[in-house]
Amino acid sequence: MLFPLASNSFLMARMPLIVIAGPTSVGKTAISIALAKKLNAEIVSADSRQIYKEMNIGTAKPTLEEQQGILHYLLDIIFPDEMFTLADYVKKAWDAIEAIHAKGKTPIMTGSSGLYIRAVAEGFVLPNAPPNPELRQKLQERLDLEGTKPLYDELCKIDPQGALHLDPNNPRRLIRFYEIYHQTQTPPSAFWSMRDSRAESLFVLKFFLTRERQKVYERIKVRVDEMEKKGLLEEVKSLLKKYPKNLKAFQTHGYQEVFPYLEGRISWEESKELIVRHTCQYAHRQWIWFRKEKGVQWEEAEPFGEWEVVAERLFAIIQKRLGGKTWEKRR
């Protein structure tokens, strides 16, 4: 799908937001940084794991050296044992976008967390329903006794439309859905039709970087080997000295597969194979998610490794869509 050409009057009224998404290991970070240099831009991370401090290697978080002087927002903002919701992300992302625009620069949102990107780009209004540990504990005890079906059936009566989008076998999502209703007395799906008026001030250009799948899977294997060399095992051991392994932050590829190795249940090679397998499965889900997204232009991240070449191609497309002007020049 191609972006529509924008008129000058439209551009003068709206501020750009460039989105660079794609499967893990495709090269989003390097391409976004190369593009940021051309656009006089700053980067807003849309990664649901790189928000955590001390989780660097397993999340493939860009180092200060890799950031090449480009200011990044929403990296290292909370500790692994702190609560962080989609509403928290949306608030901080908008703060970052507005700060970047105030400088006369262009924000580039980059990452693979599709829901983060959609929530900002489409102006989601999210319920004021912070996590309630006591309620969650009661619901978890109920799930342990009854399974997920009774709670799912109850949610179908509370919010039939919203329940259609719930995985009845995902206890975490079921608990959060009920938690929202309990605290707001409003069906969660009612919030889906609400829109933040700030989103109307944006001119959003969304790119999904892709490559031949087998090449991405091969690159994932290489990345896991690189993580091992950088000290992934030592990072996980260090984290477990400070935090329990059942944290939500650790329920992700790159960490959860190391625990059984440390417990002596599998070998290190088996642990690495699991990381590769689960990361490939995650990449597959990312392709599926963004195939359903509206207004996304798919672009090949080729030639792989020649990020300047890919960034130049994206830059040319962006310039055309923005009428040949950068946001800085329009201000």
Per-residue pLDDT reduced to its tens digit, 120-131: 998 988 888 888
Give domain status of residue 14, yes or no. Answer: yes
Q: CA-based angle 304:305:306, to the nearest 5?
A: 95
For residue range 140-172, list pLDDT tens digits in order: 999 999 999 999 999 999 999 888 888 888 898
Identify the CA nearest to 162 among candidates 142, 146, 176: 176
* Residue at 288: amino acid letter: I
Edge-to-edge, what's the strand order for the sheet holding 15-21?
Answer: 72-73, 41-45, 106-110, 15-21, 202-210, 296-300
The count of other CB atoms within 10 Å of the CB of residue 35 is: 27
Give domain status of residue 3, yes or no. Answer: no
- With beta carbons less than 8 A apart as the criterion, state whether 182 and 135 touch: yes
- With beta carbons less than 8 A apart as the criterion, state whether 301 and 29 touch: no
Both 162 and 38 in one domain: the answer is: no
Both 185 and 100 in one domain: the answer is: no
DSSP conformation class of 199:
G
- The total of structural domains in the chain comes to 2
- Tell me: pLDDT of 318 over 70: yes
In the structure, what pLDDT confidence band is assigned to residue 117 with cuts at 50, 70 and 90?
very high
Pairing of strands 41-45, 202-210: unpaired
SS3 208: strand
Work out the average pLDDT over 66-80. 97
- With beta carbons less than 8 A apart as the criterion, state whether 92 and 51 touch: no
User: Which of the two residues, 195 and 5, has the higher pLDDT score?
Assistant: 195
CA–chain centroid gap for 143, Å, is 28
DSSP conformation class of 300:
E
Both 205 and 302 in one domain: the answer is: yes
- With beta carbons less than 8 A apart as the criterion, state whether 275 and 254 touch: yes
Work out the average pLDDT over 257-276. 97
Could you give the CA distance from residue 36 to residue 312 in angstroms, rounded to a whole number?
A: 11
Q: What is the DSSP code string of 53-121?
A: TT--TTTTPPPHHHHTT--EESSS-B-TTS---HHHHHHHHHHHHHHHHHTT-EEEEE-S-HHHHHHHH
Domain boundary among 151, 173, 193: 193
The count of other CB atoms within 10 Å of the CB of residue 226 is: 12
Both 289 and 241 in one domain: the answer is: yes
pLDDT for 7 equals 47
Domain range for residue 148?
A: 133-193
Work out the average pLDDT over 246-270. 96
* Residue at 327: amino acid letter: W
pLDDT for 110 equals 98
Both 104 and 241 in one domain: the answer is: yes
Averaged confidence pLDDT in the chain: 91
Work out the average pLDDT over 249-255. 94
pLDDT for 12 equals 44
Could you give the CA distance from residue 272 to residue 261 in angstroms, rounded to a whole number?
A: 10
pTM: 0.83
For residue range 177-219, list pLDDT tens digits in order: 999 999 999 998 888 778 888 888 899 999 999 999 999 999 9
Could you give the CA distance from residue 288 to residue 279 in angstroms, rounded to a whole number?
A: 14
Q: Which long-range contacts (CB under 8 A, 24 or more apart) does 83-87 make?
A: 83/130, 83/131, 84/51, 85/126, 85/130, 85/131, 86/115, 86/116, 86/119, 86/124, 86/126, 87/126, 87/127, 87/128, 87/129
Task: State the Rg of the chain over Cα.
Answer: 21
CATH assignment of the domain containing 289: 3.40.50.300
pLDDT for 191 equals 84
Give domain status of residue 183, yes or no. Answer: yes
Work out the average pLDDT over 226-246. 97
From residue 11, give the alpha-carbon distance in Å to each of 7, 15, 43, 233. 6, 7, 21, 49
Domain boundary among 147, 169, 193: 193
Give domain status of residue 1, yes or no. Answer: no
pLDDT for 158 equals 93
pLDDT for 324 equals 59
Work out the average pLDDT over 47-65. 97
Both 189 and 200 in one domain: the answer is: no
Both 216 and 299 in one domain: the answer is: yes
Domain boundary among 193, 218, 241: 193
